[in-house]
Chains A and B, each alone.
Chain A
Amino acid sequence: MNKKVKTVLGPFILVVLLSISRYLFSSKMTFITEIAIYSLFVMGNNILYGYLGMVSFGQPFYLSIGAWTSAIFLAYIGHNPILAMLLGIAGGVITGFVLGPFFIRLRGDYFALINAALCAIGVFVFQKLLIGITRGEDGLWFRTQMSRVRLLDIRLPNNFFFFVMIIFFIVLVLYSHMNNSVLGSSFKALKVNERKMRFLGFDTFRIRWIGFILASALSSLSGSLYALNLGFVNPSLGETHRAAEVLVATLLGGSGTVYGPFFGALGFLGIKDLVSRWVTRWELVVGVITLIVMFRFSKGIWGGIRKVSLKIYDRDERSAGRCGRQRS
């Protein structure tokens, strides 16, 4: 199939399936919205971990940048939720742009840890230092401040669902395009052989920086949507333990792929939703399931789906091929 068609068709099918599910399981609408929003967060981490091979223990920081930017804007400055979202993305881009040059120079383990430190500092800043603005532990409420925007009043959950689907579709198309473009190849190539990239003439520092900014922007977008969805943000959003969660979701779904993050988010939130009703330590169950998936399919859920479907496709192909060969 043509690459360009594939870039749009895949995201389209996924978003249509999600929209159908919304009607089949109408009680699960909010849950599906959350999965799409969480997918964006996982997609951000996937650029770092899956494509560039950089482990960060601080992604919730970038998530909270987006959430707080949107929340503060809506609580104090303006009323337009879409503008709030755009500002959230801008916050992520700026954060990535400014921190990138310092962070991406660091060796793997230091990169992971400095992000964890940043995350802890972020929680402190939003909880204590800026308590006058963020209201600390109590959190910042702004639901009533949001105004109606033309065409789509996203204050209504049903409309918000479709709004998120549109965003999710656009981001997936861009992500898929990135995956097939030279940028995607250079991320993957950098991960396996940075030296060779430099011999080819690549400024690998800049490529990594671009990846870092994209990751930060996606996390912030996710944070913004999270805030808009709840109409409320509190500092626990940026807590360090969520960093492990997004890494697990990335692995579970299949790292370094376009659709892996969605399946990771679905798997992670799905298991959490099911298990936490029965077991309080649901994290343990998620951990065990992730291990099983990783041992069975090294490329996660999406890798597993692809492997199985390739086998089926292959079988069809072979039986079709046999007739073809006899003729020739």
Chain B
Amino acid sequence: MNADRTNTLLNVSDLEVSYQKLKVLFGVSVYVKKGENVVLVGRNGAGKTTLFRTIAGFIKKGKGNIVYKGKEIDRLEAYEVAQRGLKYIPQDKQVFSDLTVRENLELGSYATKDHEWDTVLVHFPKLKTLLDRKAGNLSGGERQMLLITMALLGRPELVLMDEPTEGLAPQLVKELKDAFKEINRHTTLFIIEQNLPLTAEVADRVYSMKEGKIVAETTARDDIKEMVFEKYL
């Protein structure tokens, strides 16, 4: 890799992670520069979620290191990583379903001491009309919007999203895509995505993962569209 590495926000090098005895990541190295929108693709079971969970501090690594804003974060608790401005939105789309949308947002605010909702709600104005609705009654798309909004509270510098568009209707995927572009103007994004056309449209750079290793990296739009995926997916 001979890319320009100034302004690196997140740098993961030679990461190895196992679940008990089962090794899942074999020396993964990735980096994300400030302002980028990096997408990670790869088949189910490739280890993408495991990589994100490890960065977020939820799984302890075996070997390697994770540096965020110049500091090692791999010994921190998940909540400490979040407090440093690196947020993770898991794949499961789980909100606090017994609480209202407002209460969900209040939790996000309280954790980060950020009570300025207007600046984060601009991306999804629809949520404003749903504030008193129980989060459990939201549609899948609305839930994802709520999760993204909650994660954006506290103005994180880097947000990791695990398959945010999975299972959503095309219209919603388009809405999210526009939101990603908007959010990316002030927030660095690292997204796991299976939707290739969307990836081609939003990504600045793409990593492809297979069987626990990074097997390709590209910035060329044409590559993103065709070559990489046909070869590795």
Question: Which of A's residues lie within 8 Å of B, judged by CB?
Answer: 182, 185-186, 188-189, 192-193, 195-204
Contacts and interface: CB of A to CB of B under 8 A. Distances in A.
Contacts of A193: 94, 96
Interface residues of B, number: 27
Contacts of B108: 200
Contact of A202 (B58, B94, B111): B111
A199 B98 contact: no
Interface centre among A195, A196, A200 (most CB of B within 10 A): A200
Interface in B74-104: 77-79, 82-83, 87-90, 94, 96-99, 103
Given A200-B87, A202-B79, 8 more contacts: A182-B106, A182-B107, A185-B107, A195-B58, A199-B56, A201-B79, A201-B112, A201-B154
A201 B83 contact: yes
Contacts of B99: 185, 188-189
B150 interface: yes
A186 B110 contact: yes
A201 B106 CA distance: 13
A189 B83 CA distance: 18
A99 B83 CA distance: 27
Contacts of A198: 58, 77-79, 82
A196 B107 CA distance: 11
B106 to A, nearest CB: 5
A204 B57 CA distance: 14
Main secondary structure of the interface of A (DSSP, over half): helix
A186 B99 CA distance: 10
B158 to A, nearest CB: 13
A186 B87 contact: no
A195 B82 CA distance: 12
A202 B82 CA distance: 8
Contacts of B87: 199-201
Contacts of A202: 79, 107, 110-111
A199 to B, nearest CB: 5
Given A182-B106, A186-B107, A199 B96 contact: no
A192 B90 contact: no
A185 B94 CA distance: 16
A280 B169 CA distance: 63
Contacts of B107: 182, 185-186, 189, 197, 200, 202
A131 B1 CA distance: 76
27 contacts: A182-B107, A182-B110, A185-B96, A185-B99, A185-B103, A188-B96, A188-B98, A188-B99, A189-B96, A189-B107, A192-B96, A192-B97, A196-B94, A198-B58, A198-B79, A198-B82, A199-B58, A199-B78, A199-B82, A200-B108, A200-B111, A200-B112, A200-B151, A201-B83, A201-B87, A201-B154, A203-B79
A105 to B, nearest CB: 13
The 4 residue pairs across chains A and B that have the minimum distance between CB atoms = A201-B82, A201-B111, A198-B78, A182-B110
Nearest to B96: A189
A269 to B, nearest CB: 29
Nearest to A202: B111
Contacts of B151: 200
